[in-house]
Chain A
Amino acid sequence: MKRKILNTVSKKYAFGYVLIGVFLLIFLCVSITASMYVSVQYRDATKELSEINNLEDTFNQFNNDVNISYSFLSQDGIGKYKGLKNRLDMAKGKVDLQQKKRYLRETADLSSTIETYRKQSDILINNIVSYMKHETSKDVNHAELGSQYDSLQKIYSFVMLRFQDEYSAKLKTLDLVEKNLQQLQVMIYGLLLVLILFIIFTCTVYIVTVIRGVAGSIKVLEKGVNSIEKDVRSADPIELHSSDEFEELAGAFNSMLKIIQTQMQKIAEDADIRERLAESENDNLRIYGALQKNNLDFLQSRINPHFLFNALNMISAQARIENAEKSAEMMEITASFLRYNLDNITKNVTLEKELDNLKDYIAIQKYRYGGRFEFTFQVSENCLKLVMPCMVLQPLVENSVQHGIGMMVDGGHVWISADRSGDRVIMEIRDNGMGMTAEKIEETYRNLRENTSDSKHIGIRNIYRRLQLFYKNDVILEMESHDTGLCIRMSVPYQEKLPFSNEQE
Chain B
Amino acid sequence: MKTPGKKTWIVLVVLIAGLVLSGCGKQVTAEHPVTRVSVILPHSDDGYWVNIKNGIEEKQEEAAKYGIDIKVFIPQLNYNASEMTDILKQQIAARTDFVVVQGNEDEGFVQALQEAHDQGMKVVFMDTDLSDFPEHLYVGTDNYKAGYLIGEQMAEKTNGKADIAVISGSPGYPNLEERLEGLKDAMKNYPGLSLKEVLYDNYDGLTFMKRYESVQDADTLVCLEGTGAQTLSRMFSGHDSRYRHIFGFDITDGIPTDVVDGILVQDTKEIGNQVVTQLEHYVQTGKYSNNKIYTDVHYVTKDNYKAGTEE
Contacts and interface: CB of A to CB of B under 8 A. Distances in A.
A67 to B, nearest CB: 18
Contact of A191 (B22, B33, B90, B95): B22
The residue in B3, B33, B89, B96 that gathers the most chain A C-beta atoms within 10 A of its C-beta is B3
Contacts of B12: 202
A158 interface: yes
A99 B32 contact: yes
Nearest to A116: B93
A386 B150 CA distance: 167
Contacts of A100: 30, 32
B15 A105 contact: no
Nearest to B32: A103
Interface string A244-271: 1000000000000000000000000000
B19 A113 contact: no
Contacts, number: 93
Contact of A213 (B1, B19, B36, B93): B1
B116 to A, nearest CB: 12
Nearest to B31: A103
Contact of A158 (B15, B23, B24, B89): B89
A158 B94 contact: yes
A116 to B, nearest CB: 5
Contact of B1 (A12, A29, A102, A154): A12
A201 to B, nearest CB: 11
B304 to A, nearest CB: 42
Interface residues of A, number: 51
Interface in B191-230: none
A154 B89 contact: yes
B286 interface: no
Nearest to B4: A206
Contacts of B96: 109, 112
Contacts of B36: 105, 108-109
A316 to B, nearest CB: 108
B86 to A, nearest CB: 9
Interface of A is mostly: helix
A187 interface: yes
Interface in A90-149: 99-103, 105, 108-110, 112-113, 115-117
Contact of A102 (B16, B30, B93): B30
A34 B71 CA distance: 35
A210 interface: yes
A184 interface: yes
A198 B1 contact: no
What band does the interface of chain B fall in when counting residues whose beta carbon is under 8 Å from A? 20 to 34
B89 A217 contact: no
Contacts of A217: 1
Nearest to B12: A202
B14 interface: no
B25 interface: yes
B69 interface: yes
Interface of B is mostly: loop
B95 A103 contact: no
Interface string A186-200: 011001001100100
The residue in B3, B19, B22, B93 that gathers the most chain A C-beta atoms within 10 A of its C-beta is B93
A401 B28 CA distance: 150
Contacts of A198: 15, 19
A113 B31 CA distance: 20
B22 A115 contact: no
Interface in B65-101: 69, 71, 89-90, 93-96
A214 B1 contact: yes
Contacts of A159: 93
A242 B16 CA distance: 28
A243 B2 CA distance: 8
B22 A210 contact: no
Contact of A37 (B25, B89, B95): B25
B94 A113 contact: yes
A100 B24 CA distance: 21
A207 to B, nearest CB: 11
Interface in A31-84: 33-34, 37
B33 A194 contact: no
B307 interface: no
Contacts of B94: 108-110, 112-113, 116, 158, 162
26 contacts: A5-B3, A26-B16, A30-B20, A30-B23, A33-B24, A34-B23, A37-B24, A102-B28, A103-B32, A105-B69, A108-B33, A109-B71, A109-B94, A109-B96, A112-B93, A155-B93, A158-B93, A162-B90, A180-B26, A195-B19, A198-B15, A210-B1, A212-B1, A214-B1, A242-B1, A243-B1
Interface of A: 4-6, 12, 23, 26, 29-30, 33-34, 37, 99-103, 105, 108-110, 112-113, 115-117, 154-155, 158-159, 161-162, 180, 184, 187-188, 191, 194-195, 198, 202, 206, 209-210, 212-214, 216-217, 242-244
Please list the 4 inter-chain residue pairs (A to B) with the smallest Cβ-Cβ separation, ordered nearest first: A213-B1, A109-B94, A191-B23, A112-B95
